[in-house]
Structure 1
Amino acid sequence: MSPRRLVALNLLRIYRPVALWFWATMIFCVGIGMTVVTMLTEPTFSLWLVIAGAAAKYWLGVVGVLLVSLHLRQFVANGVTRHDFLAGAAIAGVLVAVLFAAAVPLGHAGEQLLMSLGGPLPVGYPATSFGTALREFGHVLPAALAFLATGGAASAGFYRFGAWGGLALLPLAVLPVGAAEALLGVNEEGGFDVRFVPYAAAVLITLAVTALATLLYQRELRDVAIRRGAT
């Protein structure tokens, strides 16, 4: 098995229990919250989309930070080259982003199913279908990748160049998140909106700046000195 695949598998093994606890907590909290909301009123929003749609992105952003601040030294110290670590981390990150993006429409469908057990859905509730599920997935995935790239690039800048250098590069690192939040946002009903440009253009712009942040991340770390005291 290639070193980069081993890196990916080890990272997935590390984060699997954390992700399972994360989604179990999300399901429990949203289930309780939506039950209370339904008892008090007829909801015109999906609590799952509001919370899970945002949490999935932020979780990937935190992982992007940890890849540099926590895992880089661990893997390099065990004989993995920087190139193989970066490639394996990218494989694992993309796979997790796809799974998290898929969890959002799947959870929306589960929420709708549970609500329908108590009777007809409220008139204003954003019901899901195969088409809306694809749209939800298509919004969350590029945004999740953007948050992952921003977390990695921002952390890499501080790791390599210190506080002032990291701050100087921070505006470049956060461009993917800025593009995703501006173009592929969430409306007040928990649904997904496309702003300023058509959907295809919004995705292409978001992915383009995500690729630039990923390139910055790779350039910063490809030959970076590993700090003896980094964790």
Structure 2
Amino acid sequence: MTTVLTTLLRMYRPTLLWFAGFLVVGVTVIDAVVGRFAEQPFSLWMFVAGSAVKYWLGVVGVTLVAVNLRQFVAAGITRRDFIAGGLLFGVLLAVAFALFVPVGHGFEYALRGGADGVPTDYPQWSPGVAVSEFGHILPSCLAYLVAGAAASAGFYRFGAWGGLPLLVPALVPVAASEGLLGLGDNGEVLTRFLPYSAALAVCLLVTVLGVVLYHRELRHVAIRSAPMG
């Protein structure tokens, strides 16, 4: 498992750094340009980065199965070690991005002048707000990661038609996290329908069930050979 984790971290590090750098530079430039012409009451960082990190983790979940599984098994890694190491890798990425988003919001808040420089409707930032944002974003990051992996595993094992019905349970974690823990109109984190503790419990429960689905789909799957040419 440790070998899988360290290898995946090394493989994904360049892409991870480019992705994070692109977000920081892109949002900073757009914020500066828009700010010269209009007073924006929303957090561009929360909208762009808060969504981009989830989608990127979903792609990572798909890639782990569609690309990396065959590579690692061909190198002598067992399916069990790959599943465990891949999930640990994904959890570390999810935690890192869940920290990255509120920290970035803090920098945006400071660049826009802090409490005296942002409009009233702009989502204020403080260490307490950062903790709340982390607590909302982490379950969503985990949900997208697991959904991507479980959906990809279903198609990998059962093909297009067999994997299609499994797409529904695979996406339940995403539906739960988006429905219960999301962003408001100005980029502030919201809790819907349930108290936060209950919403968090539901999101984590269905995500764990997604992990179970992912494990069952992959534990005995036949590994396809790489295409020739």
Give the alignment's TM-score, normalised by structure 2.
0.96
Equivalent pair of 1:69/1:230 in contact (CA under 8 Å): no
Contact 1:43-1:124 at 8 Å conserved across structures: no
Q: 1:230 to 1:128 in 2, by over 3 A?
A: farther
Counterpart amino acid of residue 41 in structure 2: T
Query: In 1, distance between residues paired with 2:180 and 2:122?
Result: 24
Match of 2:195 in 1: 198
Q: Which residue of 1 aligns with 2:52?
A: 55
- The 8 Å contact of residues 61 and 145 in structure 2, kept in 1 or not, is answered as yes
Conserved 8 A contact 2:150-2:213: yes
| Aligned-partner SS, 1:197 | coil
Match among 130, 147, 150 for residue 150 of structure 1? 147
Shift of 1:122: 2.8
- Amino acid in the other structure paired with 2:127: F
Gaps of 5+ in 1: none
Give the deviation of 1:205 after TM superposition.
0.5
1:58, 1:195 → 2: CA distance? 21
Per-residue CA shift, 1:201-221, capped at 9, x if unaligned? 111101111011110000110
1:178 aligned to 149, 162, 175, which one? 175
On the 8 A contact 2:41/2:118 being kept in 1, the answer is: no
Structure 1 residues 191 and 198, CA, compared in 2 at 3 Å: closer, same or farther? same
CA RMSD of aligned residues (A): 1.4
Distance 2:176 2:208 in 1: 12
**Aligned pairs for 1:64-103 within 5 A:** 64-103=61-100
Partner of 1:189: 186
Q: Deviations over 1:28-82 (max 9, x none)?
A: 1111111122112222111000110011111110000000000000000000000
SS in 2 for 1:185: strand
Evaluate the alpha carbon distance shift between residue 107 and residue 230 of structure 1 in structure 2; reply closer, same or farther with a 3 A threshold.
farther
- Name the residue aligned to 2:159: 162
User: 1:230, 1:149 → 2: CA distance?
Assistant: 26
Residue from 108, 122, 127 that aligns with 1:111: 108
Cα distance in 2 between the residues matched to 1:202 and 1:123: 28
SS in 2 for 1:168: coil
Following TM superposition, by how much is the alpha carbon of 1:230 offset from its aligned partner in structure 2, in angstroms?
A: 6.2
Q: Give the equivalent residue in structure 1 for 2:210.
A: 213
3-state SS, counterpart of residue 174 of structure 1: helix
Q: Match for 1:134: what amino acid? A: V
SS at match of 1:23: helix
Q: Which one of the candidate residues 23, 48, 53 is aligned to 1:26?
A: 23
The 3 A distance-change label for structure 1 pair 138 and 230 is farther
Letter in 2 for 1:91: L
Contact in 2 for aligned 1:154/1:173 (Cα 8 Å): yes
Please, what TM-score do these two structures have when normalized by structure 1?
0.95
Q: Give secondary structure in 2 for the equivalent of 1:193.
A: strand
Structure 2 CA distance for aligned equivalents of residues 230 and 110 of structure 1: 46
Matched, 1:38 2:13: no
Instruction: State whether residues 73 and 230 of structure 1, in contact with CA within 8 Å, keep that contact through their aligned partners in structure 2.
Output: no
Aligned residue pair count: 227
Aligned residue among 216, 220, 223 for 1:223: 220
2:117 is equivalent to residue 120 of structure 1: yes
